[in-house]
Amino acid sequence: MSRVSTGLGCALLAVALVACSSGRDKRPTQAPQKSELPPVACAVDPREFADAEKVRDFGNGRGCGVRNAWRLRAINGVKLSQPLVVNCAVANTMSHWLEEVVQPAAERRFGERVTELTVPAGYSCRTRNSVRGAKLSEHAHGNAMDISGFRFEGGDHVTVEQGWFAGRKERKFLADVRAGACGPFKTVLGPGSDRHHNDHLHVDLQRHRSGGSYCR
């Protein structure tokens, strides 16, 4: 074989190897799956009615995270027992519920206004009722809030756990605010709904197939 033929063969082999290598490099690779967080509408900027701080949207890649997230310290002048992160829609609905339901019920039953909410949970990356293998809770999207007590101007503190079985005005007040949450919120759970909600009211904005609210 001549040197020219040998050189030509090597050149063709080199071109083939480059082509194969390029082909391997251009093969599509599967992108990592990203969990989609539900979109969140925001009717009113929470800073207009709350002691609120905008939080950058976040997610952990496992389904937990919050879009249009806000850290709240007070709503409509009502202090929260601890700062909570929720989405904007929950903040707006809480403002409506406090002004249209909670404060009128407080004045009707106690003759004074609520000044603080005891709030054990807003955003929390967990399953429903923290049960292993269950679906993600609405808390995992900042789409829910738990309320376990109400403090009044005079200093009285009505808890959901004890007030539900206490005097008439405590029971009536808690029944009023629970019933009034159903509609503005799409899920309302409390004492008697199941063993996980005997000491607090759970409210969230989960969309149900019926288009209505689920309240127990």
CA-CA distances (angstroms) from residue 107 to 28, 74, 86, 116, 136? 65, 20, 27, 14, 37
Taking only the tens place, the pLDDT of each residue in 108-158 is: 999 999 999 999 999 989 887 766 766 888 999 999 999 999 999 999 999
Residue 6 has pLDDT above 70, yes or no: no
Q: What token pair was written down for 183?
A: 């509609």
Q: pTM of the predicted model, to two decimals?
A: 0.78
| Predicted pLDDT of residue 107 | 98
3-class SS of residue 52: strand
pLDDT band at 15 (very low <50, low <70, confident <90, very high): very low
Taking only the tens place, the pLDDT of each residue in 46-71 is: 999 999 999 999 987 778 999 999 99
